Amino acid sequence: MNLEARKLSFIQEFLRLQNEEIVSGLENLLRKRKIELIENDFKPMSIEQFNSDINQSLDDSKNEKLIKAIDLKAKIQKWS
């Protein structure tokens, strides 16, 4: 059974549930598992990358490659 078929089967079974405790338990399990997966994929930045980013930011500041927050907000408002 492929993933799509398994998900559909799960949804059908889920919709038949009448017990709020089971629904709450499944919601909690899903929430916790998603957090675990996100945390497992998280990789901290190396010191070298951190220092490189700081140096790039300082160079951008010296070369006036900055935008004021108020100007950025105005640009963002024009996007939609």
| Residue 24 dihedral angles phi and psi, to the nearest 5° | -60, -40
The rounded radius of gyration (Å) of the Cα atoms in the chain is 23
pLDDT at 80 over 80: no
> Taking Cα atoms as reference points, which of 58, 41, 42, 61 lies closest to residue 50?
58
In a domain, 19, yes or no: yes
Question: What is this structure's pTM?
Answer: 0.48
Instruction: Tell me the pLDDT band of 67, cut-offs 50, 70 and 90.
Output: very high
pLDDT of residue 43: 83
Residue 68's region, left for phi above 0, alpha for psi from -120 to 50, else beta, is beta
Write out the residue range of the structural domain in which residue 28 sits: 3-44+54-79
pLDDT of residue 23: 95
In a domain, 15, yes or no: yes
pLDDT of residue 49: 94
pLDDT in tens, 8-65: 999 999 999 999 999 999 999 999 999 999 888 888 889 999 999 999 999 999 999 9
In a domain, 49, yes or no: no
**Domain tally for the chain?**
1
pLDDT of residue 65: 92
In a domain, 66, yes or no: yes
